[in-house]
C-alpha cells in the first residue's frame, strides 16, 4: 500500500465530515429521525408513510445544496470514473437493491449507526466496505478497467 499524499485532503475531509455529523445530529435531536438516506428514499414508494414530508424535505435540501454552493463558489471537482452508461446502471441497481435489503447505507449504518454504537450497523459497514475494497481491487488490478 502506498499513500497518495497529493490527493489526501485531511482538512476538508474532517470539516466536511463534521458538517455531516452536525446534520445527522440536528435531524435526530430536532426531528427525532435517523438521517439514513436509504431510509429517507424508501418513503418515495410509500404513500402513507408517517413523517413523509420531513423525509422528502431533507432530500430536497440535499439536492439544493450544490445549487446554493454555486451562488458563492464553483463546485469542487467531480470525476465520474466509471465511464459510459452501463457501469453506472449496474452500480445503481446494486446500490438501490442492496441498501434496501441491508436496511441502510453509508449514512444510516456508517455514520448514524456507528454513532449509536449499533452492532448491526457495524456488521453492515464492515460488509459493504469489504466488497467495496474487493470490487475496486478486482476491477482495477485484476481486470484492469
56-115: which residues touch other proteins (CB under 8 A)? 57-69, 75-82, 85, 87-107, 109-115
Whole-number minimum distance, CB 11 to other proteins, in Å?
A: 9
Q: Choose, by CB under 8 A, the member of 7, 47, 71, 144 that binds other proteins.
A: 7
Distance CA(102)–CA(113), nearest Å, equals: 13
Look up residue 86 and give its three cell numbers: 452501463
d(CA 117, CA 138): 31
Q: Does 52 bind other proteins (CB under 8 A)?
A: no
Could you tell me the smallest distance in angstroms from the CB atom of residue 48 to other proteins?
Answer: 14
Cell of 55: 423525509
| C-alpha distance from residue 98 to each of 34, 39, 74, 95 (Å) | 19, 12, 33, 5
What are the cell numbers at 14? 474532517
Q: Does 22 bind other proteins (CB under 8 A)?
A: yes
**Using CB under 8 A, which residues numbered 119 to 138 contact other proteins?**
119-120, 123-125, 127-137
Q: Does 49 bind other proteins (CB under 8 A)?
A: no
C-alpha cell at 106: 453509508
Q: How far is the CB of 9 from other proteins (least distance, A)?
A: 5
Amino acid at each position: 500500500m502506498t499513500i497518495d499524499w497529493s490527493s489526501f485532503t485531511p482538512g476538508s475531509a474532517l470539516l466536511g465530515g463534521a458538517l455531516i455529523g452536525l446534520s445527522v445530529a440536528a435531524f435526530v435531536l430536532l426531528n427525532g429521525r435517523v438521517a439514513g438516506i436509504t431510509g429517507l428514499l424508501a418513503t418515495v414508494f410509500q404513500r402513507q408513510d408517517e413523517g413523509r414530508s420531513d423525509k422528502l424535505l431533507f432530500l430536497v435540501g440535499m439536492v439544493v445544496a450544490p445549487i446554493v454552493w454555486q451562488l458563492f463558489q464553483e463546485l469542487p471537482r467531480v470525476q465520474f470514473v466509471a465511464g459510459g452508461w452501463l457501469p453506472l446502471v449496474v452500480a445503481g441497481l446494486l446500490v438501490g437493491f442492496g441498501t434496501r435489503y441491508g436496511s441502510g447505507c453509508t449514512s444510516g449504518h456508517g455514520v448514524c449507526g456507528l454513532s449509536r454504537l449499533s452492532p448491526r450497523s457495524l456488521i453492515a459497514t464492515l460488509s459493504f466496505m469489504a466488497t467495496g475494497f474487493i470490487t475496486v481491487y478486482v476491477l482495477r488490478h485484476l481486470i484492469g478497467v
